[in-house]
Amino acid sequence: MPQQPLVPPRLIAHRGLSARAPENTLAAVRAAHEAGCRWVELDVQLLGDGTPVIWHDRDINRCSNGRGRLADLDIDQARRLDAGSWFDAAFAGESMATLEQMLTLIDELALGLNLELKVNRGRDPKALVERVLPTLLDALPAERLIVSSFDATALTQARRQAPAERLPLGALFERIPRDWATRCEAIDAYSVHADWRRLRASRARDIVQAGHALLCYTANDPAAFATRWEWGVHGVISDDPTHFR
């Protein structure tokens, strides 16, 4: 195991403070900061022209006033979208954030960032990593950064570009597989990120005993989640982390 460069974050705002602002936007990150959150989790993908943007879905239908695939947009088209009105009229005119815009804000607010490399169907994980990682590593120190992904190729490529002491990597799983330890060893993983509803006590304790940080997504009910703390879980990714204080 590498020397851990950061203390595992206890509370992380999922896609920014997505319970109170449109997810993955600058507004959601500002809301997280105003609510006292110290870490945010966000998703990054590439537009069709290669611009990295903060976005979760394969398409723009759910979280904007447009329709179509993210991969079919260039930055000029993306900037014309309203990514806030779908959530609430108060956020009308909120733009899709580029990675550079988001990193500037996160640095200004001195927040920690769990950035998920989002590899949707038909997208190239290596291209995503090669475009995102240099900008990311220039912007944030290791003690304020975790890069995670469900995609093994993306994680492998990320590790090739930066050592563990510079880039803490998180292996994301829906249901933690039997070979989780082998997968984590292959990328020198800092953390394991698990669906809290599918996590089992014995597996949680094995992960913690192996020296990994264990983070759970996406929990919004502190009472239902309470037993997971007893299993050794280090942190929770929540739409509204203030409920867990």
- 62-78: pLDDT as tens digits: 999 999 999 999 999 99
CA distance 198 to 181: 17
- The pTM of the full predicted model, rounded to 2 decimals, is 0.97
β-bridge pairing 191-195 and 145-149: unpaired
| Residue 3 pLDDT grade (very low, low, confident, very high; cuts 50, 70, 90) | very low
3-class DSSP assignment, residue 109 = helix
CA atoms lying within 13 Å on the CB side of residue 26: 18
Q: How far is the CA of 55 from the CAs of 5, 8, 12, 166, 223, in angstroms?
A: 27, 24, 17, 25, 30
CB-CB contact of 173 with 148 (8 Å): no
Region 139-159 average pLDDT: 98
Q: Residue 116: what residue type?
A: E
Catalytic residues: 14, 56
Across the range 212-238, mean pLDDT stands at 98
Question: What pLDDT does 4 receive?
Answer: 44
Mean pLDDT for the chain? 97
Once rounded to an integer, what is the mean pLDDT over residues 145-155? 98
CA within 13 Å, CB half, 141:
5
pLDDT tens by residue, 25-56: 999 999 999 999 999 999 999 999 999 999 99
Q: Is the model more confident about 107 or about 5?
A: 107
